[in-house]
Amino acid sequence: MSEKTKEILEWIYCIIIALVLAMLFRYFIGTPTIVKQESMYPTLIQDERLWLNRWTRTTKTLPERGKIITFEEPAKITYLASEIDQSNPIAQYKQRNAWEWFINEFLEIGKRSYIKRVIALPGEHVEIKDGKVYINGEELKEPYLQEGIVTDVTEVGFDDFVVPENCVFAMGDNRNHSTDCRAFGCIPLEKIESTVAIRIWPLSKWGKVE
């Protein structure tokens, strides 16, 4: 083998190793992302850049109330009234084989994710009524909402249930323009991808997101 060939192969090996390390870092540690929807307005605005902390997924840590998370889009988004089971309010996900998991979860090819705020935790009784959210019978104070915003279930959805074990109930801050757990149910811990760590763009708003 010539020296030239050896040098080319060494460069190929280095590139492959760098790509693998980058993918591992993105999956287990963190990654940047761009806000693409308006469901978290005014907290997050379209085209803002965020840094996502994926260490919570790696350590399988349940996020606290108020944290903004990203999670995999459920397989079923809308339900008929006859399909709503308030006693089992867990979002439905497609079962994948190892190859599908690698393509969809690890490489994130063709994957869709949502970004929402954690509202309720396992074991808590959630009621949505009179335009407000009640946790265990007490009104939830939500200073991050725009003035005049009401919370309701406009058509068919989950509005009176107990959050199952190892799940969270999450909604967008822009309640009238957010498809969230009211429509498809609570998110299992294993489907939570990350928490929002900081806003990195625009620079004028750089810092922690709350």
Residue 40 domain-assigned?
yes
Instruction: Report the phi/psi class of residue 136: left, alpha or beta, with left for phi > 0 and alpha for psi in -120 to 50.
Output: left
Residue 108 domain-assigned?
yes
What is the distance of C-alpha 100 from the center of its chain? 20
> Two tokens at 149?
């915003």
What is the distance of C-alpha 121 from the center of its chain? 15
Residue 18 domain-assigned?
no
User: Which residue carries 């009179």 as its tokens?
Assistant: 130
Residue 118 domain-assigned?
yes
CB 207 within 8 A of CB 48: no
pLDDT of 1 reads 66
Residue 25 domain-assigned?
no
User: How much of the chain exceeds pLDDT 70, in percent?
Assistant: 100
Geometric angle at alpha carbon 150, from 146 and 156, rounded to 5°: 135
Residue 13 domain-assigned?
no
Mean pLDDT computed over 171-198: 94
The pTM is what? 0.90
Its domain, for residue 105, covers: 31-208
The mean pLDDT of the chain is 91
pLDDT of 108 reads 83
Residue 176 domain-assigned?
yes
Residue 82 domain-assigned?
yes
- Residue 100, pLDDT > 90, answer no
Mean pLDDT computed over 162-167: 96
pLDDT of 111 reads 86
Q: How many domains does the chain have?
A: 1
Output the domain CATH number for residue 122: 2.10.109.10
- Residue 155, pLDDT > 80, answer no
CB 90 within 8 A of CB 188: yes
Q: What is the pLDDT of residues 13-65, one digit of tens each?
A: 899 999 989 989 999 999 999 999 899 999 999 999 999 999 988 999 999 99
